[in-house]
Amino acid sequence: MEKIRYERPVIKKLNTGVMNKYGTRTEYTPVTNIDGARVKDLISEFGSPLFVMSEQTIRKTYKDAVRAFTTRYPKVQFAWSYKTHYNNAICSVFHQEGSWSEVVSGFEYNKALLNGVPGNKIIFNGPDKTDDDLILAINNESMIHIDHLDELYRIIELTDELKKRPKVAIRVNMDTGVYPMWDRFGFNYESGQAWDAINKIILTNKMDLIGLHTHIGTFMLTPSAYAVAATKLLDLAFHIKSKFGKNITYIDMGGGFASRNTLKGSYLMGADSVPTFDDYAEAICSALLNSEYSKEDLPLLILESGRSLVDEAGFLLGTVLANKRLSDGRKATIMDFGVNILFTSFWYEHKISPAQEFSHYTEDSVIYGPLCMNIDVIRENITLPPMKKGDNVVVHTVGAYNMTQWMQFIAMRPNIVMIDMDGKPHLIRKKETLEYMNSLEITPEYLKDFKL
Amino acid sequence: MKIKKNVAISESGFIFNPTTGDSFSTNPIGLEIIRMLKDDKSKDEIRKSILSKYITDESTFEKDYYDFVMMLQTNQVADDSE
């Protein structure tokens, strides 16, 4: 007799309670391939855990976002947010699609230059720009977004030394009716700080104020807040025009659009509740178009979206290390990936799918990572089929921030592959090795000898 | 280890314990094990039956059986009386 596939015996208590119209969602539909590449093959070739990026999804998502804005507004430019995912291959996909770069450090700035982005297509944001960074950006005619007065005065000094007129914008923070209000970056609108900085820039006549920038928050679920922000930036632009007779070249609305992830504590799944690109575009473009600008004078609209463009293109493949039963009867499954490489599990309920066929029986589980640290919890509650040691899973929507915020802690960081448009995987970042980690460390000679 | 006499077990794996009022669902292999326990089969007989029918090994079965039986006891579907 031919033997049949084994599944761990499970018994699940049926709880009756107050039902809601959405019911509960179980994640037992297996995901056996990504863009045509088999999950099992990817793991056997590149190891587990493994980050997988889908080039197809990046390009499609980018085109969707561009379409949402360009069908509503005549002048639109995206600038890829390097901090969201600054792997060179990923950045190059965005640059091939026409995206400029938006960077927030000298490290990111130089990465963009090395990727081949012309200096005048780099937007330099953030509170930390060293003298060397500023000199490089001024010489390259990059768009320098001034964050504070100390930076403004330093740029004025540098213009004298370099005999150049930098192209600058100021970052403006403001009350858009959402909480928390991000007031730590840039100059405040309501208190008059922003207008004061604009006057200083224009009246010192040492640099060209070409833009106004804001970034109102992150994972913004209220598109109307962007309309408020756009209106306030336009108000500043009109004041500049009426007082100094100058037109602003661009309005940079920053990023902060939500991805389809589910925030912890959310009642609805992210995919069902987050605004679409069209929702954001409608709010922003309507505010710009309904302003008093004539068609010819409309400023270029720059967007620095990161998370919403790349999150869904990222997958994390992993393997079950062990199952155990907790003292309260809950099932716990230990995976080979932890919060050290899946940083976003601190704030998202990541969707996790099995990578092989199962029956439709499920059990409630806790998903732990492999770290010997109590905080290493990937999902506190999830309903999954009974998995056994060696089974594989796919974690969804991990493309944003994980591969820049990941930590080398206890274990080393794994390989990243990108599946190209034809379904072929390419290794785009090698996993770290002990040799590489040790090459960065220096042990003083006198510590090298010891007897135990 | 015995399944309690008054526990009702359906063909589809639905289990009802009238003593506690709790109901449960189990997967086909779980149902098979519960039935064998109800028929007073020993652990060794159950082990042989499962290993001859399914693609698994002795240590995996041992581990899973122990966990399953513990859950039957925790949920008062079975008791350890002879």
**A88 assigned to some structural domain:** yes
| pLDDT value, residue A50 | 98
Instruction: Write out the DSSP string of A390-432.
Output: T-EEEEES--SSHHHH---BSB----EEEE-TTS-EEEEEPPP
pLDDT, tens only, A276-315: 999 999 999 999 999 988 888 899 999 999 999 999 999 9
**A194 assigned to some structural domain:** yes
Residue A253 has pLDDT above 80, yes or no: yes
Instruction: Specify the number of domains making up chain A.
Output: 2
CATH of residue A381: 2.40.37.10
**Local confidence band at A188 (pLDDT 50, 70, 90 cut-offs):** very high
Q: Clarify whether residues A126 and A255 are in a common domain.
A: yes
Q: Clarify whether residues A198 and A67 are in a common domain.
A: yes
Q: Clarify whether residues A286 and A376 are in a common domain.
A: no
Higher pLDDT, A404 or A13: A404
Torsion of CA A113, A119, A122, A126, to 10 degrees: 80
Residue A128 has pLDDT above 60, yes or no: yes
Name residues 63-82 of chain B within 8 A of A (Cβ): 64-65, 67-68, 70-72, 74-75, 77
Of the candidates A6, A323, A329, the beta carbon closest to that of B55 is on A6
**Local confidence band at B36 (pLDDT 50, 70, 90 cut-offs):** very high
Q: Clarify whether residues A252 and A215 are in a common domain.
A: yes
Q: Clarify whether residues A307 and A394 are in a common domain.
A: no
Topology of the domain comprising B2-79: Arc Repressor Mutant, subunit A (1.10.10)
CATH of residue A250: 3.20.20.10
Q: Clarify whether residues A197 and A265 are in a common domain.
A: yes
Of the candidates A6, A323, A329, the beta carbon closest to that of B74 is on A329
**pLDDT > 90 in chain A, percent:** 83
Identify residue B6 by its one-letter amino acid code. Answer: N
Q: Clarify whether residues A195 and A155 are in a common domain.
A: yes
**A10 assigned to some structural domain:** no
Per CB-CB distance under 8 Å, the chain A contacts of B68 are 8-11
Mean pLDDT of chain A: 94
For strand A167-173 and strand A352-354, is the pairing parallel, antiparallel, or unpaired? unpaired
For strand B78-79 and strand B2-3, is the pairing parallel, antiparallel, or unpaired? antiparallel
**A325 assigned to some structural domain:** yes
**A449 assigned to some structural domain:** no
Compute the Cα dihedral for A417, A419, A425, A426 and give only its sign: negative
CA-CA distance, B27 to B12, in Å (whole number)? 8
| pLDDT value, residue A370 | 97
Q: Clarify whether residues A256 and A281 are in a common domain.
A: yes
Please answer whether residues A402 and A51 qualify as being in contact, where contact means their C-beta atoms are separated by less than 8 angstroms. yes
Contact A361 B71 (CB under 8 A): no
**A1 assigned to some structural domain:** no
Query: How long is chain B?
Result: 82
pLDDT, tens only, A329-368: 889 999 999 999 999 999 999 999 999 988 788 888 999 9
CA-CA distance, A291 to A210, in Å (whole number)? 19
For strand A76-81 and strand A100-103, is the pairing parallel, antiparallel, or unpaired? parallel
Residue A196: give the domain boundaries: 56-311
B37: which residues sit within 8 A by CB, 6+ positions away?
B1, B2, B3, B46, B72, B78
What is the ipTM for the molecules in this complex? Answer: 0.95
Q: Clarify whether residues A175 and A288 are in a common domain.
A: yes
Contact A10 B56 (CB under 8 A): no
Of the candidates A8, A9, A13, the beta carbon closest to that of B22 is on A13
